[in-house]
Amino acid sequence: MLASVHSVVLAVNAVVVRPVADMHSSGREDTDVVSQAIYGTNIEILEVRNNWAKVRTPDGYTGWMHRSGLLRTDKRYADGQTAVEVKNLFANVYREPSITKHKPIMTIPFESRLEISGEQQNDERWMQVRLANNQRSWVQAGDVTTETKPLTVPQMISLSRHFLGLPYLWGGTSTFGYDCSGFTQMLCRRRGIVMPRDADLQAAWTGVSNVPKNALHPGDLLFFGASPEKITHTGMYIGNGEFINATTHETPVIQISKLADPHWTKIFVCARRVK
């Protein structure tokens, strides 16, 4: 871990070692959570103040993370052909290839990355992995994949339905809880598209073009708020007048909503299509 210091400005590599690590607006626990980073994410440390580090995630987002959630490293973790990615909503990580001998070391969310260990056994059910702290561990092979090819729009829409019912969480970027823009950013990422983190930035992003409301296609992004200058919510159009979104409206979960619902009609601002 990083040595204790009062304030140091630097730019070094690190990896997230918690299942989900909160990113705060400033280096204090009682400040708001602006985003999150999940296990195995390679991040950049920009500054250290006591027990907090200002970090930058791969999408360019910055925030303050408690130092216990990250580990400084001289190389990128779980990168390239040595990596597997969690393909189910969650995956348990075990100390041995058994689900009964001990409880899991941890449970990590969808998209978390792990590094394959070179010491594999002839057992199709289990895969040995190396954690970021070099600990040898095991995951069930059915929870992970080495295939990370970009999805088509129909494949992405199909995937999105697997998340229905997961909780809404302000600042959330994982299957433990998503917020609206964290959810749409993840769906676009499955297409190989790195989009800005927040809804207002997504709507203004140069990687999208304006779409009239009467010309929507599945996969288009919908934006809501008080005005074009005050966009506060987003979802993804899935066809037939419906969109999927992480919302607190009525039930705080990922759900399918109707664009013609008066609640959404009143606050609809614009639609965008990824170029």
For each of the chain's 275 residues, which pLDDT tens digit applies?
444 445 665 678 999 999 999 999 999 999 999 999 999 999 999 999 999 999 999 999 999 999 999 999 989 999 988 899 999 999 999 999 999 999 999 999 999 999 999 777 677 899 999 999 999 999 999 999 998 899 999 999 999 999 999 999 999 999 999 999 999 999 999 999 999 999 999 999 999 999 999 999 999 999 999 999 999 999 999 999 999 999 999 999 999 999 999 999 999 999 999 99
Residue with tokens 């506060």: 232
Q: What is the CA angle 237-239-242, rounded to 5?
A: 65
Q: Based on the fold, state whether residues 164 and 257 are members of the same structural domain.
A: yes
Q: Based on the fold, state whether residues 265 and 215 are members of the same structural domain.
A: yes
Q: Based on the fold, state whether residues 100 and 196 are members of the same structural domain.
A: no
Q: Which pairing describes strands 253-258 and 242-247: parallel, antiparallel, or unpaired?
A: antiparallel
Task: Please check whether residue 29 lies inside any domain of the structure.
Answer: yes
Q: Based on the fold, state whether residues 25 and 135 are members of the same structural domain.
A: no
**What CATH number is given to the structural domain containing 162?**
3.90.1720.10
- 41: domain range? 8-72
Q: Based on the fold, state whether residues 191 and 262 are members of the same structural domain.
A: yes
What residues are paired with 271 via a beta bridge? 211, 222
Burial class (CB in 10 A: 0-12, 13-18, 19+), 24: buried
Q: Based on the fold, state whether residues 122 and 67 are members of the same structural domain.
A: no
What is the count of structural domains for the chain?
A: 3
State whether residue 134 is helix, strand or coil.
coil
Q: Based on the fold, state whether residues 258 and 221 are members of the same structural domain.
A: yes
How many angstroms separate the CA atoms of 139 and 62, rounded? 31
Task: Please check whether residue 269 lies inside any domain of the structure.
Answer: yes
**What CATH number is given to the structural domain containing 112?**
2.30.30.40
Q: For the chain, what is the largest distance between any 2 Cα atoms, rounded to a whole number of angstroms?
A: 59
How many angstroms separate the CA atoms of 212 and 169, rounded? 30
Task: Please check whether residue 26 lies inside any domain of the structure.
Answer: yes
Task: Please check whether residue 3 lies inside any domain of the structure.
Answer: no
DSSP assigned state of 169: -
Q: Based on the fold, state whether residues 167 and 268 are members of the same structural domain.
A: yes
Domain boundary among 145, 161, 183: 145
Task: Please check whether residue 63 lies inside any domain of the structure.
Answer: yes
DSSP assigned state of 32: P
Domain boundary among 72, 89, 111: 72
pLDDT score at 4: 44
Domain boundary among 120, 145, 170: 145
Q: Based on the fold, state whether residues 191 and 141 are members of the same structural domain.
A: no
pLDDT score at 9: 58
